[in-house]
Structure 1
Amino acid sequence: MLLSSAAVPSAALGQPAQAGAGERGKIMRLLRHMTLEEKVGQLFVVEVYGQDAQTVTETAAAGNQRLYGVSTPAQVIDKYKPGGVIYYTEGRGPDNLRNPRQIATLSNGLQAAATGQRRPIPLLIATDQEGGSLVFRLSAPATAMPGNMALGAGRSAADAYRSAEVIGAELAAVGINQNYAPVADVNVNPANPVIGIRSVGEDPDLVSDLVAAQVDGYHDGGVAAVAKHFPGHGDTAVDSHFGLPEVTHTRAQLEAIDLPPFRAAIDERVDAIMTAHVVLRSVDPSGAPATMSKSILTGLLRKRLDYDGLIVTDALDMRGATSTYPPHVAPVEAVKAGADQLVLAPQMDVAYNAVLDAVRSGQISMRRLDESVYRILRVKLKRGLFADPLVDVELAEKVVGAPGHLADAQVITDRTTTLVKNDAGVLPLTGDPRSVLVTGWGVTTTRTLGEAVRRRGQTVTVLETGLTPSPARIAEAVAAAAANHLVVVSTNNAAGIDATTGLPTASAAAQQALITALLATGVPIVVSAMRNPYDISRLTGVSTFLATYGYTAGAVESLTRVLFGEVNPAGRLPVTIPRADGSGALYPFGHGLRYGS
């Protein structure tokens, strides 16, 4: 089906401030010559199995066959002509990311498949590279920049910009041109199970400043930025991967807390905003998730915030979407609500045909479809993909993990570690030799920390106790502690609360028991929260406590430097640490100790 120029109301397709006459003309010409099927394909962002576009393993072929009925990534592109692809690591299944040369080669192969179609349109190739320890896809040799809450502790917009610029440059070098970052959520709920340290913090002004800086950094690094998760996922107690959370904020709270970072991102001309699978009844009393809510996406985001960039759904295969909307309904409702890109729609054949049928029947108007395709093409044109979508494979190996990037990552991380409590004056440690037990959560974390402490001339024993230490493992740690001069313990969400019972999770309770048992030995104990800084609220009797907001190698090195006084701790809490009994603040926003003051 060809579309006549008269059917495309150009005034509805992009603002003059965002697209010059020449750019609009090019996009309009593309639209006029695209078939309906090609336009619908542009809406979808798919995952593909394998590390090469043409040649895949039996396992990868089976994954593609299961999802799409074809074997290779190139065949997926040929079948659906999607507008985008998202890369994942092996943990998800697709296993796309091994090393810079391989990723760049895969990207080039996918772009060749896309531009080899009847209507050559390059792909938006996306991934989630937020920085920090929780949500990242490219691992070493890629540079591990600090995560959002660490940046919030550092309080530096310049550092936030540089972190995003480095991530963007490394993604662009391997052909990834769209990053699902920065996280613009304001984490005002200490029990939030899915955001936490992925957020800059609890202060909307601080979050706004650093989100704006990251948007600029990603753009200057060479990738499209995607602020997420609109209208705000920072005050939820349910993980939308596994259920449908509800945000109970009033309109006034929404304006004061959740929307400022998105406004800041829009002011910086962010390329895209990702939806959240959350219910927000103060805007949409129907209880529809934001992803499928016209009141939220069109009414609030498009009209109230005057945003005309891409709206990208969070993954449609998450329970926050699938628990309410079956595969043939979710994508149609998302488009009707105002979404442009449909990420990971389950049952691709069903989803694709459902949108196709909805357009043919008039449930989705041709004008509405063209608005979305226009925005998608506009981002591709802005990113220079029509001119040259391919990347230099040799250059990719030099850019990813470049020495300057690694050095900047460590310098920035050194400004984020926060000394929360030092009542016994244990820190900073002298260089005198001593025996140190490094214990607690994380096989890699405790080993890396132990090696770093050993390099400072200490005798080190490493005993990892797991996320949920057993009584037997706690007893081993206690026995080991008695034979050492100092114990350094790492925790991971030791203040975690079960959303159903309101009680500590099993892992939190076990970690608390470990700390209590170690304190009883009388040996000096230093506790470092390697994830959420809230852990101290549940660790009665701890006199020395630090927060790193992550467990990258750089975060562990920074922790060690602070322990030994090589770096004066400069991080300040980007969140309030509440008292466990709910009676107020244990440590206020902005708290942070320094040596010698």
Structure 2
Amino acid sequence: MSIDCTKWVDQLLGRMTIEQKIGQMLVFGFCGPVITPDIAELIRKYHIGGLRISQKFRMMTVANDIKPGTEPDENTRRSLQYPRGLNRDYAYIDSPTSCTAREYAQSLNRLRDFALERPLGVGIHLVIDQEGNACDDLLSSQRLFPAAMGYPGAGDTDLAYRSGLCIARQARAIGANMIHSPVLDVNTNPLNPEIGARSFSALTDEVILYGRALMQGLKDGGLFTTGKHFPGRGESVSDAHWGLPTVGISREDLYHEHIRPYKKLIEAGLDAVMLAHCCYPCLGVVDRPACVSDTIINDILRGELGFEGIITTDNMMMGGILQKYEMSEAVVEAVAAGCDIILCRDESPLRYKIIDSLINAVRNGRIKEKRVDESVERVLKMRWQMGLAQNGGKVDPDVADVPFNDAFVKKTAAEAAEKTVMLKDESSLIPLDPASNVLLIEQIFPTHSFAANMYSHPGLLWEEMCRHSDKVFSVEIPYYPGEADFDRIRRRISEADTIVMTNYYYHKGVSSITEAVRKVMDMGKDVIVVTNTPYEFGLAADFPVGIVCFNPGSREQLRAVAEVLYGKLKPNAKLGFEVTSSELVNKEAVIR
């Protein structure tokens, strides 16, 4: 630390009460832009240090991470909290409040004013996900970029760097300071339901190469970076949102394939590490997730890898934690084990229970105050480096949308879309004849509903296809179509020479609609599948023709898909490892 930073941190730490220290370690959710009295109270009265901001919902609670169609287990039920006090009782949480980039930046500045008005005047930091493929938290004046797996397919590390730079410039203009990227999981299991195309590759060396490039772009653009999910979730066969996975591989394989990206990126300047909600028997951690494991945090990450930066939990309201612990117990275990930041996106009164549990754990000696001081010192150092000691992180709202229209950002977004799109065409259906009748069966992708603006909205692929032909008919279907939707499709099927159908995969939505695609194929027409993953979830082996784009929420990406469909763009992207479709693999690049 610099002399000025050390002085600032030491002075603040020496004046802090237990309550203020605990607050600095907490990052709660804020589904703005509407500022509610409870979020103001948490900043002003409870001293919270950061917010995970998102424009995808009106609010989030533990209920968001209960698997659809299932009942919550006992720990989850104990963690569910009904609204009370200042906490608003919402009629529904979808359909977020839309706003301009300027309006959103103004709301975030107000939150920062609340922090600066506190006795110690320590600013809050704002953190996002912006991975692509419906994992994009910022939607106001944001050009969206491909998920990680697109970049090695393009074979262009400079494109990954420039994409990171553009993501960061857009996010910083609104006010974000930190990003939960890059994803450093090596997706060695093609049946992994949660990671998939969020990973750069099934090959460790590609994850290192492209992860480092994206990370450097994000850092040069002004964001603090977070590698996730340590010590690696790529071999998992279940989703940590719905339960606690066990990664059952050897210690040698875990170190060589999955931990190695962290070692290399820590050496390259990775700012923070997010821990996985998984168990690792090969490390002697049989029934405890990584975020509560002294072995994983202190012996391996701090000790063997020498990491001195911020260690954060993943979202503590996920099923991977609640299957084992009630929430307020889990956060105490995590801090005691060595986590610096507790991430909990829940916006219910559960937040107050978490705060009380941690304060009580320090007061009764279960967590040593020295242990808390170590984390708070790291967190304050990070906030100094973010510039929060100057003006609390406030930005100029009048220029919040400038990066969206910047020529470099626009050019890079278009290039990323064109270079990462992939094609499988065993039936030689592409290019389509603009004079032929095409029926587009298009799902409403989550980002289309979240954003619902002129950049990203339902019917986006239809709009882009209509640029090339006036013979495109559309049946819009919900993300999961029902029998009534198939009736609508059957009524239009006779009009079509060819069918284009989306089969988008969203890991938080449980599955894709692969069986629905097969049902349409049985109707006797040629079908071209458009998906966002090269894996079986989206592009099944029995689908002869498919196009993969790595973020259907992006206009640039679906514009590239339409150009491929009508022969205006010849895709060259290939993967360097085996997936279901051999046509998507660059045989010369496969590493064994």
Equivalent residue number for residue 145 of structure 1: 145
Equivalent residue number for residue 264 of structure 1: 264
Say if 1:357 and 1:473 are closer, same or farther in 2 by CA, change over 3 A: closer
| One-letter amino acid matched to 1:513 | K
2:191 matches 1:191: yes
Instruction: Report the Cα offset of residue 48 of structure 1.
Output: 4.1
Equivalent residue number for residue 75 of structure 2: none
Aligned length: 538
Equivalent residue number for residue 331 of structure 1: 331
Instruction: Report the Cα offset of residue 73 of structure 1.
Output: 2.8
Equivalent residue number for residue 453 of structure 2: none
Contact 2:158–2:213 at 8 Å: present in 1 too? yes
Aligned-residue RMSD, C-alpha: 2.8
CA deviation profile, 1:228-279 (whole Å, cap 9, x unmatched): 1111122222221221111112111111221122223212211111111111
Equivalent residue number for residue 65 of structure 2: none
Residue of 561, 564, 575 corresponding to 1:562: 564
| One-letter amino acid matched to 1:375 | R
Q: What is the distance in 2 between the residues matched to 1:172 and 1:280?
A: 36
Equivalent residue number for residue 79 of structure 1: 45
Say if 1:264 and 1:357 are closer, same or farther in 2 by CA, change over 3 A: same
Equivalent residue number for residue 394 of structure 2: 390
Equivalent residue number for residue 459 of structure 1: 471
Equivalent residue number for residue 377 of structure 1: 380
CA deviation profile, 1:426-479 (whole Å, cap 9, x unmatched): 32345x522222125347688322232222134111123554445664465456
SS of the equivalent of 1:228 reads: strand
Contact 1:418–1:592 at 8 Å: present in 2 too? no
Contact 1:415–1:569 at 8 Å: present in 2 too? yes
Q: What is the distance in 1 between the residues matched to 2:587 and 2:535?
A: 12
Say if 1:550 and 1:25 are closer, same or farther in 2 by CA, change over 3 A: same
Say if 1:536 and 1:238 are closer, same or farther in 2 by CA, change over 3 A: closer
Q: What is the distance in 2 between the residues matched to 1:572 and 1:213?
A: 19
Equivalent residue number for residue 112 of structure 1: 113
Say if 1:190 and 1:441 are closer, same or farther in 2 by CA, change over 3 A: farther
Higher deviation after alignment, 382-391 or 403-412: 403-412
Instruction: Report the Cα offset of residue 407 of structure 1.
Output: 2.7
Q: Any stretches of 5+ residues in structure 2 without a counterpart?
A: 61-95, 449-456
Q: Any stretches of 5+ residues in structure 1 without a counterpart?
A: 1-18, 61-70, 500-504, 579-584
Higher deviation after alignment, 103-112 or 397-406: 397-406
| One-letter amino acid matched to 2:213 | A
CA deviation profile, 1:323-374 (whole Å, cap 9, x unmatched): 2122332111101211100111762232222222322333222322111011
Residue of 492, 504, 508 corresponding to 2:514: 508
2:23 matches 1:41: yes
Say if 1:536 and 1:197 are closer, same or farther in 2 by CA, change over 3 A: closer
Say if 1:314 and 1:506 are closer, same or farther in 2 by CA, change over 3 A: closer
Q: What is the distance in 1 between the residues matched to 2:282 and 2:25?
A: 29
1:297-336 alignment, distance < 5 Å: 297-336=297-336
The structure with the largest alpha-carbon Rg is 1
Contact 2:404–2:410 at 8 Å: present in 1 too? no
Residue of 26, 30, 35 corresponding to 2:8: 26
Say if 1:549 and 1:534 are closer, same or farther in 2 by CA, change over 3 A: farther
Q: What is the distance in 1 between the residues matched to 2:184 and 2:394?
A: 30
Say if 1:50 and 1:586 are closer, same or farther in 2 by CA, change over 3 A: closer
Contact 1:127–1:176 at 8 Å: present in 2 too? yes
2:354 matches 1:358: no
Say if 1:196 and 1:138 are closer, same or farther in 2 by CA, change over 3 A: same
Equivalent residue number for residue 99 of structure 1: 100
Q: What is the distance in 2 between the residues matched to 1:185 and 1:156?
A: 20
Q: What is the distance in 1 between the residues matched to 2:482 and 2:33?
A: 39
| One-letter amino acid matched to 1:147 | A
2:504 matches 1:538: no
Say if 1:536 and 1:142 are closer, same or farther in 2 by CA, change over 3 A: closer
Q: What is the distance in 1 between the residues matched to 2:513 and 2:427?
A: 27
Q: What is the distance in 2 between the residues matched to 1:203 and 1:146?
A: 19
Residue of 484, 489, 498 corresponding to 2:501: 489
Instruction: Report the Cα offset of residue 49 of structure 1.
Output: 6.0
SS of the equivalent of 2:501 reads: strand
Contact 1:284–1:293 at 8 Å: present in 2 too? no
SS of the equivalent of 2:528 reads: strand
Say if 1:175 and 1:575 are closer, same or farther in 2 by CA, change over 3 A: same
Q: What is the distance in 1 between the residues matched to 2:497 and 2:369?
A: 73
Say if 1:51 and 1:463 are closer, same or farther in 2 by CA, change over 3 A: closer
Residue of 513, 524, 527 corresponding to 1:525: 527
* Identity value in percent: 26
Contact 1:440–1:489 at 8 Å: present in 2 too? yes
Q: What is the distance in 1 between the residues matched to 2:271 and 2:512?
A: 41
SS of the equivalent of 1:488 reads: strand
Q: What is the distance in 2 between the residues matched to 1:528 and 1:96?
A: 29
Q: What is the distance in 2 between the residues matched to 1:181 and 1:401?
A: 24
Higher deviation after alignment, 40-49 or 531-540: 531-540
Say if 1:536 and 1:221 are closer, same or farther in 2 by CA, change over 3 A: closer
Please, what TM-score do these two structures have when normalized by structure 2?
0.84
| One-letter amino acid matched to 2:519 | A
Higher deviation after alignment, 406-415 or 258-267: 258-267
Instruction: Report the Cα offset of residue 38 of structure 1.
Output: 1.3
Equivalent residue number for residue 3 of structure 1: none
Equivalent residue number for residue 409 of structure 2: 405
Q: Which runs of 4+ in 1 moved over 4 A?
A: 94-97, 443-446, 465-476, 585-589
Q: What is the distance in 1 between the residues matched to 2:570 and 2:272?
A: 38
Contact 1:100–1:400 at 8 Å: present in 2 too? no
CA deviation profile, 1:505-547 (whole Å, cap 9, x unmatched): 79432322222x14x34xx43222234443576352x432222
| One-letter amino acid matched to 2:43 | I
- Comparing both chains, which one has the higher relative contact order based on Cα–Cα distances under 8 Å and sequence gaps of 6 or more? 2
Contact 2:574–2:584 at 8 Å: present in 1 too? no
Q: What is the distance in 2 between the residues matched to 1:474 and 1:97?
A: 31
Q: What is the distance in 2 between the residues matched to 1:407 and 1:588?
A: 26
Say if 1:145 and 1:97 are closer, same or farther in 2 by CA, change over 3 A: same
Instruction: Report the Cα offset of residue 80 of structure 1.
Output: 0.8
Q: What is the distance in 2 between the residues matched to 1:576 and 1:417?
A: 17
Say if 1:477 and 1:446 are closer, same or farther in 2 by CA, change over 3 A: farther
1:426-441 alignment, distance < 5 Å: 426-429=429-432, 433-441=435-443
Say if 1:100 and 1:25 are closer, same or farther in 2 by CA, change over 3 A: same
Instruction: Report the Cα offset of residue 24 of structure 1.
Output: 2.6
Q: What is the distance in 1 between the residues matched to 2:332 and 2:295?
A: 16
SS of the equivalent of 1:126 reads: strand
Instruction: Report the Cα offset of residue 45 of structure 1.
Output: 0.8
Q: What is the distance in 2 between the residues matched to 1:537 and 1:592?
A: 22
Q: What is the distance in 2 between the residues matched to 1:260 and 1:360?
A: 39
Contact 1:531–1:550 at 8 Å: present in 2 too? no
